[in-house]
Structure 1
């Protein structure tokens, strides 16, 4: 084999991380040229030996003592000796993309259901220990590309990331739909967790970022969850009573637009007005098909019981509402009218009534124009001053 006077990096592929010099015969006095950001390492009999940093190096006992001991050839002897030389690029590699190939089902501790999640981001790495990298990953291959490293660690990254996200959701009691606020903290934690795995192969994680943790918008389960959350938010803004009222009329309107509307109205009202508006959102069932509100104090009238007599006219706007309602569904005015008492029989009568509905007598008594005392119903003269009720004494 030929003895090479100059050993240098001759590969033009920028994606190569580790490149093996094609020759295998060296001699004392040969020059080894190492580029910036590179290291050259001598490899023999499965051992990674001496390291040379950037610059031009002449092989002598001072710079390759380990190899000198192993080959046991006196310095100055021109007898060639076999050895392999690997060039390692130590520049930081940034913007390596990672992501879940398909959604992974994870339990949402707030919604108490499994949702398909996706995660993606980017990371960077660099060679920290060239000896360890050559021994662990290179072996007898002639080169190792950056893509080889990425492909090797992709499975480790995805497994660690999935397990970490699942644990954080449970420990922090986070919903998958609101976890975005914690991406920065989670990215820092995952960088630390991945360091040991990379260090085993002489590598170091330079940066690790989670760009997004989300759910597929077209997934039926996700759509049901978001619809339920929208209903809950609407109920919180409107208030329980107003929301139940709105849902009632939504059902009635839907029934009127479809054939067999009577059956639909019966089914809709029979289900209870609060469909999809549960106050205890965390206890949702797996399918999220029915989010029930707390049982109201007064149930709305059932479909068979809705009669004209159960409707009352609002004194403010004149529109009709269910008698069970406390407020008008059109203008919001109160529907409960306070009562007064008949001065003759003591029965309760509506405020503003002129005659008692129980005894038939007039509710407002006339006053004497002279002494201002009340006149009994039908009296011709005032019993207090004896003046005539018509105005003459």
Structure 2
């Protein structure tokens, strides 16, 4: 039986745990532990002791529990079988993580589901070697970065979905704005995952989200971008989406001859029906005022709405006059009207030169041809 005299680390530098390949030890075997490492002695699946950096003799003085497992003297040297595991305690700060496939996230502001991909890196160190070996390593001869990435992939993929959704709700932002909050989101996710890493004897030093993206051709992403663009336009001009839709409907009705009155009636009817009707009716009435306050041209004879380029009224054949005549009291008067219908004042003026009657708004006397001065 070949007993091992020297036990030392011969694994690669980038692994977290490495098992010494021979378990034939004795009470005179020398255990060498390098800086930033610890060695754990296992027998029968149980961890007996942890050795810090230095040179150790595996006798009962150094391992009191060895008395219970070593009971056969062998010429001053007692052989026994045990496993020696080396655990690297260095800080590893560049472990990559990423979602293998996009995760579906519901945008809290618009309710649209979009696929999100995320990646980054995290830093860790092992702070409880016994717990780490028991829960993570198992029977593999070594445990490296690829094992950490594989074992924790399901955890951080779940956390990416859950924590991003929670963060969006708390911050009241849309999913496409996450790129501006990566630092805050990274800290938020680290805090949420820290306790789960602790359960495996690992301290999570940092967790960075380097990028979050969504496919440009996804239908949900396209819809969300359109909604954000529309909202931005409304924010610029300062009114809400419901107001815009109501206004568009009324403008369309005004441009469609014969339907304006029906739409106005609908606005009044909605304005009289319950709390929802009152809200919508108010919006309709406000939008109606905006439409009606525009320069709608009417015939001076029959008040029929006419086109802005019409020369004759389609209803009464009256020639349309574009002049905007007003009495001194401010009331609008018609071409050829002799008295104001509001104040009763005569609208006929006389030429100061020949006393001939002047028509309303005339600039020259039709009798003498001289310019008309303002008689008001």
TM-score normalised by L of structure 2: 0.66
Separation in 1, partners of 2:74, 2:135: 31
Q: Tell me by how many angstroms 1:6 deviates.
A: 0.8
In structure 1, the residue matched to 2:60 is 61
Report the 3-state secondary structure (helix = DSSP H, G, I; strand = E; otherwise coil) of the residue aligned with 2:35. coil
Corresponding position: 1:377 with 2:332: no
CA deviation map 1:321-370 (0-9, x unaligned): xxxxxxxxxxxxxxx99751289xx97238xxxxx33349995735758x
- Judge conservation of contact 2:324–2:332 (CA < 8 Å) in 1: no
Residue number among 350, 358, 375 corresponding to 2:337 in the alignment? 358
Q: Cα 1:311–1:97, aligned 2, differ >3 Å: closer, same or farther?
A: farther
Report matched runs for 1:212-231 at 5 Å.
212-231=211-230
Query: Any conservation in 1 of the 2:59–2:66 contact (CA below 8 Å)?
Result: no
User: In structure 2, do the counterparts of structure 1 residues 117 and 141 end up closer, same or farther at CA, with 3 Å as the change threshold?
Assistant: closer
- How far the C-alpha of 1:212 sits from its partner, in A, is 2.9
CA deviation string 1:188-208 (max 9, x = no partner): 232222222222221111111
The answer to whether the 8 Å contact 1:61/1:75 transfers is no
The more displaced of 165-174 and 152-161 is: 165-174
2:350 corresponds to 1:349? no
Whole-Å separation in 1 of the counterparts to 2:231 and 2:139: 63
* C-alpha spacing 1:239/1:139, structure 2 compared with 1 (3 Å): closer
The answer to whether structure 1 residue 4 and structure 2 residue 1 are counterparts is: no
**2:125 aligns to what?**
126
Structure-to-structure mapping, 1:179-218, within 5 angstroms: 179-218=178-217
Look up the SS of the partner of 2:191 in the other structure. helix
Q: Does 1:146 pair with 2:145? A: yes
1:128 CA drift (Å): 0.9
8 Å Cα contact 1:41-1:50 kept in structure 2: yes
Shift, 1:57, TM fit: 2.0
CA distance in structure 1 between the aligned counterparts of 2:331 and 2:58, rounded to whole angstroms? 120
Q: Are the structure 2 counterparts of residues 135 and 359 from structure 1 closer, same or farther at C-alpha, using a change threshold of 3 Å?
A: same
Relative to structure 1, the CA distance from residue 364 to residue 236 in structure 2 (aligned partners, 3 Å threshold; closer, same or farther) is: farther
* Cα distance between partner residues in 2 of 1:117 and 1:349: 67
* 1:115 to 2:99 alignment: no
1:21 corresponding residue in structure 2: 20
Residue number in structure 1 paired with 2:361: none
Partner-residue secondary structure (3-state), 2:114: strand
How many residues are aligned here? 297
Aligned partners of 2:162 and 2:328: how far apart in 1? 76
Normalising by structure 1, report the TM-score.
Answer: 0.64
Does the Cα contact within 8 Å between 2:114 and 2:218 map onto a contact in 1? no
Write out per-residue CA displacement over residues 47-73 of structure 1, whole angstroms, 9 at most, x where no aligned residue: 111111122223333322233443246
Q: Which residue of 1 aligns with 2:301?
A: none
Paired with 1:204 and 1:73, the residues of 2 have a C-alpha distance of: 41
When residues 71 and 108 of structure 1 are mapped into structure 2, their CA distance, relative to the original with a 3 A threshold, is: same
**Is the alpha carbon distance of 1:182 and 1:377 closer, same or farther for their aligned partners in structure 2, counting shifts above 3 Å?**
same
Query: Where does structure 1 lack aligned partners over 5 or more consecutive residues?
Result: 253-264, 273-293, 302-307, 314-335, 351-355, 379-389
Contact kept, 8 Å, 2:94 with 2:123, in 1: the verdict is yes
Find the residue that maps to 1:155 and give its secondary structure: helix
The whole-number CA distance in structure 1 between the counterparts of 2:323 and 2:159 is 66
Cα distance in 1, alignment partners of residues 120 and 147 from structure 2: 19
Match of 1:310 in 2: 307
Bigger mean CA offset, 44-53 vs 213-222: 213-222
Q: 1:90-101 alignment to 2 at 5 Å?
A: 90-101=89-100
Give the Å deviation of 1:134: 1.6
**How do residues 242-281 of structure 1 correspond to structure 2 at under 5 angstroms?**
none
Contact 2:70 2:78 in 1 (8 A): no
Cα separation, partners in 2 of 1:52 and 1:182, compared to 1, 3 Å: same
8 A contact 1:342–1:349 mirrored in 2: no
Q: Secondary structure in 1 aligned to 2:62?
A: coil
| Secondary structure of the corresponding residue to residue 217 of structure 1 | coil
1:151 and 1:46 map into 2 onto residues whose CA distance is 24
When residues 310 and 39 of structure 1 are mapped into structure 2, their CA distance, relative to the original with a 3 A threshold, is same
Instruction: Give the C-alpha shift of residue 239 in structure 1.
Output: 6.2
For residues 181 and 309 of structure 1, what CA distance do their matches in structure 2 show?
54
Aligned-pair distance for 1:228?
A: 3.5
Give, in whole Å, the separation in 2 of the partners of 1:367 and 1:357: 17
Contact 1:28-1:75 at 8 Å conserved across structures: no
Q: Which residue of 1 aligns with 2:313?
A: none
Q: 1:357 to 1:48 in 2, by over 3 A?
A: farther
